[in-house]
Amino acid sequence: MPAVYSELRRQAARALRREAAGHTLQATALVHEAYLRLVDQRRADWRDRTQFFAVSAELMRRILVDHARARRTAKRGGAAARVTLSDADAAGVGVDEPAAEILALDEALGRLGAMDPDAARLVELRYFGGLTIEETAEVLGVSTATVKREWATARGWLQRDLSR
């Protein structure tokens, strides 16, 4: 369990580094949530490191998306509390760009997955799982050159899709 926890912590820190400044979810909270979901799987038959990476990246994606949705709901009045403009300015309250970006990326990733599931999985591993090029190549069982090429293609597709 300590090895799993430390690996999740490393992945979460990398994944959150990619996020825009101001994201309210901390790496520790992301790790704890992912860890609880991984450990809670009663019938999980962990075959190898590859399966662990794939499942943990997907879990981190779900957690980040759920967190972003909750923040957007709260922003629109859910559990609203009165805050003066000066308090809001001091606290940095405003447009929740990271939440909007994560939700937009999740939707775009769904569209990419419908066309190219392998590219969507690569993005999930790199972006939400925080894996390096080398780790992604190991998990997918391909060369680092293939990961670099497909990562560039997927990023270009996502950039074009998100700019619409």
Domain ranges of the chain: 2-162
How much is the average pLDDT of 22-26? Answer: 59
CA distance 146 to 137: 8
Residue 83: its pLDDT value, please? 41
User: Contact at 8 Å (CB) between 108 and 158?
Assistant: yes
Residue 9: its pLDDT value, please? 77
The type of residue at 145 is: A
| Contacts (Cβ under 8 Å, ≥6 apart) of 62 | none
| Contacts (Cβ under 8 Å, ≥6 apart) of 106 | 61, 65, 68
Per-range mean pLDDT, top range of 11-20, 63-72, 82-91, 146-155? 146-155
User: Contact at 8 Å (CB) between 11 and 130?
Assistant: yes
- Whether the per-residue pLDDT at 116 is higher than 70: the answer is yes
The model carries a pTM of 0.60
Residue 97: its pLDDT value, please? 62
Name the residue with tokens 């994201």.
Answer: 23
Residue 50: its pLDDT value, please? 73
- Whether the per-residue pLDDT at 135 is higher than 50: the answer is yes
**Tokens read off for 71:** 């923040």
CA distance 138 to 140: 6
What does the pLDDT look like over 44-54, one tens digit per residue?
666 777 777 77
Among residues 114, 5, 116, 109, the alpha carbon closest in space to that of 58 is found at 109
- The H-or-E segment that residue 100 falls in is helix 97-115
